[in-house]
Amino acid sequence: MPRNLPAIRLDPRVPAYIEDHAVELVRRMVRALAGERDWTLSLTLGAAQDFPMDRDFAYCRLVEPHHAEIVVAPRMVAAVETREGRDRVSALLRHELAHAILLICDLPHSERDADRMARDLFGLPIFYDRDDVQTINPNAPGARKPRPAYLPA
């Protein structure tokens, strides 16, 4: 694999829409970060019990240096059935990919930092809808930015 293109490890249970969208966003991310370092990104379908709150759709963690994993909730699978859900999926993936970069580069950051990086990398701001879930749709019910201060930092 050429230098700086991440190895992408995909969970076969992740639906094609989420996988395809994630891969396209990673391609954009790689172009933006060309020359930084070699790294791996895993996209995994998590267990429902790992996402206890209604607004919990995904999280990112560092598995080892230079290997980040984005874990998506089973509820994200159902979200792709609606326009509102696809807007959420797009925003969530952008947000979690920003976390992946920040973690791989060992940069301390906040949730708002991840939103800003996602905006800078992918060209669209992250909004929060009426349910406090990320969306790319500025016209989603209750859409606002930045991230509400009452949400975890």
pLDDT in tens, 98-139: 999 888 888 899 999 999 989 988 889 999 999 999 999 999
The pTM assigned to this predicted structure is: 0.83
The overall longest dimension of the chain from CA atoms, in Å, is 43
Angstrom distance (rounded) from CA 141 to CA 138: 9
Calculate the CA dihedral of residues 70, 76, 77, 82 and round it to 10 degrees. Answer: -140
Angstrom distance (rounded) from CA 139 to CA 81: 19
Is pLDDT at 5 greater than 50 in this prediction? no
Return the percentage of the chain with pLDDT > 90, whole number.
Answer: 54
